């Protein structure tokens, strides 16, 4: 896993810096909103999605360094959109804790939190299109309808219901679709338009996203509270998670299988895949 950790240490400071620099201008007439918007991006986070985008771009192109500034900014747009989804998700689920701190809606109220999410989404879209329009379109398709928003709608509809097919559909749309879009966006941003590459990286991201979500379902039940600092409302809200249908051991095996499927997607491709393989390994055994 050292390859991804070294990659993360190298580029995370640039991502973190630009996350704050690219925020929209604040106004003296919206002081609470200004604080809430900044707060939504200062509560930590693994930054997995922007790092995945950069890792994919690095794996397919020798022009990575030449495009680095634009790639970093695009990755920040991805993180804005991810955080928008978290802010709105917390409102819908009634989650009061995220990353060990009060959620935006808990600290500032749901009305302000809704606007924060809206601002992150629209600013994120602007950043994406300012840098790589083809990649931006792929990202927006992955987080719309169908995609992440559809998955969120299904998540609400199926709370308290029992359907394994619905659970996989929700996981596919709410989480995996975004990972697949990020992976495809990464190759397009570096000028790789080959249809074989596009399909392979789509499959890579889809399986990675499913493995990530299943692991997240597991951690919501078995994660150590001092590390996995969520309010653990999945059980209370009767959400459709992997543990409604499989044991903890079986769910762990599913994570391994999906991770292997993602690895298999990269086989026989002329890419620098060590960082991506390292990322897969880290996510499959993560504890937070």
Residue 61, pLDDT score: 85
Residue 225, pLDDT score: 58
Residue 236, pLDDT score: 67
Write down the CATH number for the domain with range 2-284: 1.10.600.10
Residue 63, pLDDT score: 83
Label residues 110-120 b or e (16+ Cβ within 10 Å = b). Answer: bebbebbbebb
| pTM reported for the whole predicted model | 0.95
Q: Which parts of the chain sit beneath pLDDT 50?
A: 228, 231
Q: Do residues 214 and 234 lie in contact, with contact meaning Cβ atoms separated by under 8 Å?
A: no
Residue 229, pLDDT score: 52
Q: What CA–CA distance (Å, rounded) separates 52 from 264?
A: 17
Q: Which residues pair with 153 in a beta bridge?
A: none
Residue 37, pLDDT score: 97
């Amino acid at each position: 896993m050292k390859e991804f950790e070294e990659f993360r240490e190298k580029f995370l400071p640039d991502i973190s810096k630009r996350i704050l620099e690219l925020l929209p201008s604040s106004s003296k007439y919206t002081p609470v909103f200004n604080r809430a918007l900044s707060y939504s991006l200062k509560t930590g986070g693994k930054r997995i999605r922007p790092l995945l985008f950069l890792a994919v771009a690095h794996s397919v192109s020798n022009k990575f360094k030449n495009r680095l500034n634009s790639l970093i900014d695009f990755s920040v747009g991805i993180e804005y959109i991810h955080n928008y989804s978290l802010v709105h998700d917390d409102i819908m689920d009634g989650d009061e804790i995220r990353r060990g701190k009060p959620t935006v809606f808990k600290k500032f109220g749901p009305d302000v939190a809704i606007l924060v999410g809206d601002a992150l989404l629209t600013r994120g879209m602007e950043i994406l299109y300012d840098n790589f329009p083809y990649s931006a379109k792929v990202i927006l398709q992955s987080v719309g309808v169908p995609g992440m928003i559809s998955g969120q709608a299904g998540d609400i509809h199926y709370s308290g219901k029992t359907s394994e097919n619905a659970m996989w559909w929700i996981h596919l749309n709410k989480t995996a679709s975004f990972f697949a879009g990020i992976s495809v966006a990464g190759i397009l941003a570096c000028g790789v338009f080959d249809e074989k590459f596009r399909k392979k990286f789509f499959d890579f991201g889809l399986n990675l996203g499913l493995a990530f979500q299943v692991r997240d379902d597991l951690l919501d039940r078995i994660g150590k509270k001092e590390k996995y600092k969520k309010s653990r409302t999945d059980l209370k809200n009767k959400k459709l998670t992997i543990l409604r249908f499989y044991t903890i051991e079986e769910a762990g095996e599913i994570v391994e299988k999906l991770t292997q499927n993602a690895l298999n997607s990269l086989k026989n491709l002329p890419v620098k895949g060590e960082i991506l393989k390292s990322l897969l390994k880290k996510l499959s055994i993560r504890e937070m």
